[in-house]
Amino acid sequence: MVPSEPSARRAAALHAAFPGTFDPVTLGHLDILERARRLFERITVMVASHHDKQQLFPLAERVELLERVTRGMDDVRVVALEGLLVQGCLDHGAGAIVRGIRSAGDLEYERQMALTNRALAPEVETVFLVPAAEHVHVSSTLVRQIARMGGDCSRFVPAAVEERLRERFPR
């Protein structure tokens, strides 16, 4: 008979973090979130600021938008991430990090980050998910470019985000 795992480790294995800048949140992000919800009992969406990127929406607004588009998902919580991702995982009790992979370039970048995160917190595992074909080309950068140039982003973002983009960039 194999001894059972400690309950804290088991609970952490059922809880994943889904980090990103989400500037703005796209249908591709929501596709990855839905796939992660099938694998984990709880998901904490961790909204980060990236020191090398100039964000379109401030952190508080990105958190608010994610809270709006995940309303009704009782197994999803949205928080602002301050500091290192693995520390956020440990602070919130998440035993896994969910990352979306759209291309070979994403895979190489995410592989390096996963190895670094494993070195910092070996108890936190990284899981890669591939979005549905209709979302694989969508990125927040692309959405921001389309919005700035007056284009229609409705096929790429939730309605609440499209509304906010139209407020920010009237046509």
Q: What is the pLDDT of residues 55-66, one digit of tens each?
A: 999 999 999 999
Alpha helices by DSSP H, listed for 14-151, are 27-39, 59-69, 85-92, 104-120, 140-148
| Catalytic status, residue 92 | no
Q: Which of 10, 53, 71, 137 is catalytic?
A: 53
State yes or no: pLDDT of 11 exceeds 90.
no
Distance CA 100, CA 152 (A): 24
The CA dihedral of 12, 42, 18, 108, to the nearest 10 degrees, is 60
Q: Kindly report whether the peptide bond that precedes residue 19 is cis, defined as omega within 30 degrees of 0.
A: no
Other beta carbons within 10 Å of 7 = 8
Q: Is residue 12 over pLDDT 70?
A: no
**53 is a catalytic site residue:** yes
Model pTM above 0.85:
yes
Selected catalytic residue, list 15, 37, 62, 140: 140
Domains of the chain by residue range: 7-133
The arithmetic mean of pLDDT across residues 92-119, rounded, is: 95
The single residue of 29, 37, 99, 144 carrying the catalytic annotation is 29
- Please determine, for residue 2, whether its predicted confidence score (pLDDT) is greater than 60: no
Rounded Cα gap, residues 29 and 132, in angstroms: 11
**Mean pLDDT of the residues in the chain:** 92
> 50 pLDDT band (50/70/90 cuts)?
confident
- Spell out the residues 6+ positions from residue 102 whose beta carbon is closer than 8 angstroms to its own: 28, 130, 131, 136, 137, 139
Active site residue 29: yes
The reply to whether 140 belongs to the active site is yes
Distance CA 115, CA 108 (A): 11
Print burial letters for 145-160: b (CB count within 10 Å at least 16), e (below 16).
ebbeeeeebeebbbeb
Q: Active site residue: 35, 92, 102, 118, which one?
A: 102
pLDDT tens figures, 72-104: 999 999 999 999 999 999 999 999 999 999 999
Instruction: Kindly report which listed range (12-16, 33-37, 44-48, 113-117) carries the lowest average pLDDT score.
Output: 12-16
**Vertex 64, ends 155 and 169: CA angle to 5°?**
50
Alpha-carbon gap, residue 68 to 168, rounded angstroms = 18
Assign domain 7-133 to its CATH superfamily.
HUPs (3.40.50.620)
**Whole-angstrom distance, CA of residue 40 vs CA of residue 13:** 8
Q: What is the largest CA-CA distance in the chain?
A: 66
